[in-house]
Chain A
């Protein structure tokens, strides 16, 4: 709860999303009222939604919270650069770059192929693209596909992998979390430490 509280008061949309996900899992693990898992999940989601609404009404008076509100409505330059820049640049790539990538660390090369309303904003934000799409833009479709498959297989070795994998990819859609970033490597390391090989063995033999 200490970590969740600290994430809420850091006034970052990503931190708030992670805090809510941790809270959801916390409630999910603790909620065992019914035998039906989907019913327990619905109750957990309801509890977390109520908590989120409560904290929203409390925090909306704090000026820094406006940033999160803007981010959740995809308003503001920062949110556009974090969330929309990736898919827009990827969509506008020529077929060769789409399949083979523009090269690691050179996501700014993709901006040259886009001439829309956000051109200036994209140029100003340089190489910053969200973690999910930066892999597709830099390494190309095939390599990024296998990279995401590799992540999925790592998550399959863990319990509650759907929630974990969904949250991981959702965070990557708004933050620069790629395999070539130290924080991403660290959290995948934590996942690796906590793994359980049973699922993958079953997957292979079935």
Chain B
């Protein structure tokens, strides 16, 4: 059951996911995915930051600090190298890079996020199964009934059609499914997450 407490993390996860799906659409000069993605990242940081518990300086946290320090110092140096157009692209990438790294470090040390983990895994599994079903339907429809099934945001050509499920392109479905490999042995076979 979804509890009110787990809504912020599940919503943030869903927003980042929407950011990975709608990367082909644009709004106000930026990919619509950027808005979803940044909202999701801010969500993870804001809702988990107050709960983080760091008892010892672990190796991953030490490496995180060294890495962000290097990247931050480089970011200042890079600012003087390029013209306005390149700076705009670069600063967008720098902001996304730091937000992703900070969000990852925050959720790594947040007990609240760990508690919501089961819900997030459930959302992930549902998305994966739905996308797999859509992809198989697209494949069967195209090969056996000559029906061309593609969503408006997908980059698909009718010639040499390759189904993508609900994702922008077939490779994205593959990359997203990589998360399934990261499941623990105990969760690898379960049809639904343990309550």
Chain A residues in the interface with B (C-beta under 8 A): 2-3, 5-7, 9-19, 21-22, 25-26, 29, 62-64, 67, 100-101, 103-106, 109, 138-140, 142-143, 146-147, 149-150, 153-154, 157-160, 163-164, 167-168, 171, 175, 177, 179-196, 200-201, 203-204
Contact = CB atoms under 8 A, between A and B. Distances in A.
Contacts of A67: 160, 162
B56 interface: yes
A15 B176 CA distance: 9
A101 B161 CA distance: 38
A17 B174 contact: yes
A187 B16 contact: no
8 contacts: A5-B132, A7-B174, A67-B162, A106-B90, A146-B66, A181-B20, A182-B37, A193-B120
A62 B13 CA distance: 36
Contacts of A13: 171
Nearest to B21: A182
A64 B160 contact: yes
Given A103-B81, A177-B175, A12 B187 contact: no
Contacts of B70: 142-143, 146
Given A6-B131, A104-B75, 12 more contacts: A2-B132, A5-B136, A9-B139, A16-B174, A21-B178, A25-B188, A103-B81, A103-B86, A147-B67, A183-B20, A188-B104, A190-B124
B94 interface: yes
Contact of B77 (A100, A106, A175): A100
B147 interface: no
A11 B162 contact: yes
Interface string B62-100: 011011001100110110011000100110111011001
Contacts of B163: 9-11
Nearest to A195: B108
A10 B176 CA distance: 13
A89 B58 CA distance: 35
B183 A194 contact: yes
Chain B residues touching A, range: 35 or more
Contact of A196 (B33, B180, B184): B184
Contacts of B172: 183
B181 A10 contact: no
B128 interface: yes
Nearest to A101: B74
Interface string B125-157: 000110111011001000100000000000000
A192 B107 contact: yes
Contacts of B176: 183, 186-187
Given A105-B93, A186-B17, A100 B74 contact: yes
Given A10-B170, A193-B114, A204-B56, A158 B67 contact: no
A162 to B, nearest CB: 12
Contacts of B8: none
Contacts of B20: 181-183, 186
B173 A15 contact: yes
